[in-house]
Amino acid sequence: MFERLYPKEWADSTYNIDFERFYEEGFRGIIFDIDNTLVPHGADADARAIELFKRLKDIGYDVCLLSNNKKARVKRFNKDVNVNYIFKAQKPYSRNYYAAAMKMHISVKSVICVGDQLFTDIYGGNLAGIYTILVNPINRHEEIQIVLKRLLEKFVLHFYKKKLKAEHKSWPGRKFTG
């Protein structure tokens, strides 16, 4: 029923994803949302984010930030990580997911999208045919419009968890036995 909103994987944090494994599987590009995916909402790149981007570049990835934020916000975050970026991306529309892949000179089939929101990051990535990874938000204190979307996300995630349970898979913080 909600399959277009379901991520391919779900991780506790961006910083717990095994990016080396994905590189071995043939992925070459990563699209990241910024706020609550890499840093708390509105924060600059911190030491952890800077180290992650250095690690990803060392592995061999091309990276692109894809944000619905204004240019000043995205540019401020990017000054310390120095990757491609697209601001005012109008997620979930797939147009800028394709544009991000083009900026990285990579087919969407070789790209991973990492984000914290189902209705923007994950849905848009899925529409573009990109491998999507949902991460738990870094900070629970969010703008009111996002808080309202989180309530709808809980409803969708209820069905996603049931699907995972039926497939004997797990999601962050919970394991199934049997």
Output DSSP code: residue 91. Answer: T
- pLDDT at position 1 is 60
* Cβ contact 32:38 at 8 Å: yes
Instruction: Write down the mean pLDDT value for the chain.
Output: 89
pTM for the whole thing?
Answer: 0.84
- E-strand ranges in the chain read 9-11, 29-32, 62-66, 84-86, 111-115, 131-135
- Peptide bond between residue 92 and the one before it cis (omega within 30 degrees of 0): yes
Q: 44: which residues sit within 8 A by CB, 6+ positions away? A: 76, 77, 79, 80
- pLDDT at position 160 is 77
- pLDDT at position 169 is 63
CATH class of 8-141: alpha beta
